[in-house]
Amino acid sequence: MDLLKICAIAPQFCLLNQHDQQVCLKDFQGRKVLVYFYPKALTPGCTAQACGLRDAKTALDQLGVVILGISPDKPKKLAQFVEKKELNFDLLSDPEHQIAEEFGVWGEKKFMGKTYHGIHRISFLINEQGVIEQVFDKFKTGEHHQVVLDYLLADQ
């Protein structure tokens, strides 16, 4: 895993969202974008993380931050996640984990004694110029939104 670092240029991408519509990073040029990678829709940790961001969206909007969640799930599963948890931001499908690899979040993981490859739960705050401003890689799923807000508010 070769994780992108602060000051790196964010890889450009276009992925399908929960409505089977293409969403591209360049669509948000001139705005800050929180790109958060999560392993699997509708699992407990991913749900806690997504619901925290959902509930913090108004504050993030006021700070000029767009939220984009990325996982290997297909758009149909993402649509179920958005509907069931009333999410108010786009979830993007990266089934071949190409974008996850470009950001350096796809790699070896261990769970219950088994080793496999998957997404590491890491978020990137991309600034208005498309440069990675901050990397969030140490947080509890239910506190992710607060870690991001704390960073943004400290920057003001």
Of the CA atoms within 13 Å of residue 156, those in its CB half-sphere come to 7
Indicate the burial class of 117 (C-beta count within 10 angstroms; 0-12, 13-18, 19 or more).
exposed
- 86, β-bridge pairs: none
Q: For residue 113, what is the DSSP state?
A: T
Name the H helices within the chain.
44-62, 75-85, 98-103, 144-154
Active site residues: 46
What is the DSSP code string of 99-130? HHHHHT-EEEEEETTEEEEEE---EEEE-TTS
Q: Residue 24 carries which side chain, given as an amino acid letter?
A: C
Bridging pattern class, strands 32-37 and 65-71: parallel
Q: Say if CB 66 and CB 31 are below 8 A apart.
A: yes
